[in-house]
Protein backbone atom coordinates (compact mmCIF):
# COMPACT_ATOMS: atom_id res chain seq x y z
CA UNK A 1 0.00 0.00 0.00
CA UNK A 2 2.88 2.36 0.68
CA UNK A 3 4.00 2.01 -2.95
CA UNK A 4 0.56 3.06 -4.15
CA UNK A 5 0.61 6.10 -1.86
CA UNK A 6 4.08 7.01 -3.14
CA UNK A 7 2.93 6.80 -6.75
CA UNK A 8 -0.12 8.94 -5.95
CA UNK A 9 2.03 11.59 -4.27
CA UNK A 10 4.42 11.71 -7.24
CA UNK A 11 1.50 12.01 -9.66
CA UNK A 12 -0.07 14.80 -7.60
CA UNK A 13 3.19 16.74 -7.51
CA UNK A 14 3.54 16.36 -11.29
CA UNK A 15 0.08 17.85 -11.82
CA UNK A 16 0.83 20.68 -9.37
CA UNK A 17 4.11 21.53 -11.14
CA UNK A 18 2.41 21.66 -14.53
CA UNK A 19 -0.52 23.75 -13.35
CA UNK A 20 1.62 26.16 -11.36
CA UNK A 21 3.98 26.57 -14.30
CA UNK A 22 1.17 27.52 -16.67
CA UNK A 23 -1.24 29.46 -14.47
CA UNK A 24 0.88 30.99 -11.69
CA UNK A 25 4.10 31.61 -13.61
CA UNK A 26 2.47 32.19 -17.04
CA UNK A 27 4.71 29.61 -18.73
CA UNK A 28 7.92 31.59 -18.19
CA UNK A 29 9.63 28.67 -16.50
CA UNK A 30 8.08 25.89 -18.55
CA UNK A 31 11.46 24.33 -19.39
CA UNK A 32 12.34 24.02 -15.70
CA UNK A 33 8.88 22.63 -14.97
CA UNK A 34 9.37 20.08 -17.76
CA UNK A 35 12.64 18.91 -16.24
CA UNK A 36 11.03 18.64 -12.81
CA UNK A 37 8.22 16.59 -14.35
CA UNK A 38 10.73 14.26 -16.02
CA UNK A 39 12.58 13.77 -12.73
CA UNK A 40 9.30 13.05 -10.95
CA UNK A 41 8.42 10.55 -13.68
CA UNK A 42 11.73 8.77 -13.06
CA UNK A 43 11.00 8.77 -9.32
CA UNK A 44 7.58 7.25 -10.02
CA UNK A 45 9.24 4.63 -12.22
CA UNK A 46 11.55 3.74 -9.33
CA UNK A 47 8.52 3.36 -7.04
CA UNK A 48 6.88 1.09 -9.62
CA UNK A 49 9.99 -1.05 -10.12
CA UNK A 50 10.47 -1.35 -6.37
CA UNK A 51 6.84 -2.40 -5.91
CA UNK A 52 7.10 -5.03 -8.65
CA UNK A 53 10.29 -6.43 -7.10
CA UNK A 54 8.81 -6.44 -3.60
CA UNK A 55 5.50 -8.01 -4.61
CA UNK A 56 7.10 -10.68 -6.83
CA UNK A 57 9.50 -11.60 -4.04
CA UNK A 58 6.62 -11.79 -1.56
CA UNK A 59 4.75 -14.36 -3.71
CA UNK A 60 7.70 -16.78 -3.83
CB 17 within 8 A of CB 37: yes
Q: What is the pTM of this model?
A: 0.78
pLDDT truncated to tens, each residue of the chain (60 aa)?
A: 677 788 889 999 999 999 999 899 888 889 999 999 999 999 999 988 888 888 888 765
DSSP secondary structure letters along 1-40: -HHHHHHHHHHHHHHHHHHIIIIISTTTTHHHHHHHHHHH
Domain boundaries in the chain? Answer: 1-57
Amino acid sequence: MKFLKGLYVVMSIMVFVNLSSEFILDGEYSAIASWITVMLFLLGTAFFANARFYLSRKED
